[in-house]
Amino acid sequence: MKGMGKMKNKIDLSSKKLKNEQRTKKILRIVLLVILLLLLISYFVIGIIYNKGNFTITLDRNLYFDRGLIIYDDPEYKVYRSELYAKTPQTFENISHQWLPDDLDEQGSGSHNGDNYLAYTFYIENTGSEIADYWSEVVIDDVVKNVDEAVRIRIYRNGEEVTYAKASYDGTPERGTTPFESENIVVRTHIENFQPGDLDRYTIVLWIEGTDPECTDNILGGEFKVHMDFNSEYLDESIEN
């Protein structure tokens, strides 16, 4: 009987040990799941903008063939291209506009992104023999989870800067910004009397403004896709993109 009692105790101890191991494994699975969820949230913050591709700048073919205008991001390589591509930042978390460098328009040509913001400098030049004009516009292609409420787009043209933002809920401009022109147009500008040899320098800066009241956890996982067009004529914004 004593032998059977010892055997029973051994069985009980083995059973408890097995239960403890199973409990430990369960806890580890829960911890790993929590870590995975945190990583996913981090991914959504990082990929909140441009997770579908680069910021593009397109040139209407008529501006080149009829008016001799070209776009480029390298002054040493001036050739006709219908499209330019701005590289996306490695991360895109919210920041304050106060963290942006003061010399963003003086950091060279092409992409010069920083921590959590996109910055891209390029040129449009009249290489033709006649006076021309053109329309420039920044078009919103897609918005998910209202992330556009906290986005800022700053455009430098020949050193002059304007920062654009979606108007606040009461319709007033966000502090220090010019409101988007419409739901799908950030800004549209008509440049006239563009002389042969004239050159316009543009720098585009884009970030998520952390001080915006609409910059909350509700925009996590959101998307904001925009591009810039240079057109030979006014295009009605009611036309679907």
pLDDT digits (tens, 9 = 90+) for 60-80: 999 999 999 999 999 999 999
Residue 24 falls within a domain, yes or no? no
Residue 138 falls within a domain, yes or no? yes
Range in 90-94, 127-131, 162-166 with the lowest mean pLDDT = 90-94
Most confident of 53-57, 150-154, 211-215: 150-154
**Pairing mode, if any, of strands 55-59 and 83-86?**
antiparallel
Q: What is the pLDDT of residue 45?
A: 46
Kindly tell me if the per-residue pLDDT of 50 is higher than 50. no
The structure tokens listed for 49 are: 């903008």
Measured over the CA atoms of residue 201, residue 53, residue 34 and residue 21, the dihedral's sign is negative
Range in 29-33, 45-49, 55-59, 156-160 with the lowest mean pLDDT = 45-49
Kindly tell me if the per-residue pLDDT of 21 is higher than 50. yes
Question: Domain range holding 67?
Answer: 47-231
pLDDT confidence band for 52 (50 / 70 / 90): very low
Residue 189 falls within a domain, yes or no? yes
Kindly tell me if the per-residue pLDDT of 19 is higher than 80. no
Residue 3 falls within a domain, yes or no? no
Residue 13 falls within a domain, yes or no? no
The residue among 5 and 71 whose pLDDT is bigger is 71
pLDDT confidence band for 15 (50 / 70 / 90): low
The structure tokens listed for 100 are: 């942006």
φ, ψ of residue 21 to 5 degrees: the values are -65, -40
* Helix (H) and strand (E) counts in the chain: 2, 12
Q: How far apart are the first and last CA of the chain?
A: 86
Residue 195 falls within a domain, yes or no? yes
Residue type, 113: N
pLDDT confidence band for 170 (50 / 70 / 90): confident
Q: What is the pLDDT of residue 91?
A: 73
Q: How many domains does the chain have?
A: 1
The residue among 161 and 212 whose pLDDT is bigger is 161
Span 43-58, mean pLDDT? 60
Contact partners, residue 218, CB within 8 Å, separation at least 6: 145, 146
Residue 172 falls within a domain, yes or no? yes
Distance CA 144, CA 11 (A): 58
Residue 170 falls within a domain, yes or no? yes
Range in 3-7, 54-58, 67-71, 208-212 with the lowest mean pLDDT = 3-7
Measured over the CA atoms of residue 96, residue 102, residue 106 and residue 108, the dihedral's sign is negative
The structure tokens listed for 12 are: 């009980």
Mean pLDDT of the chain: 83
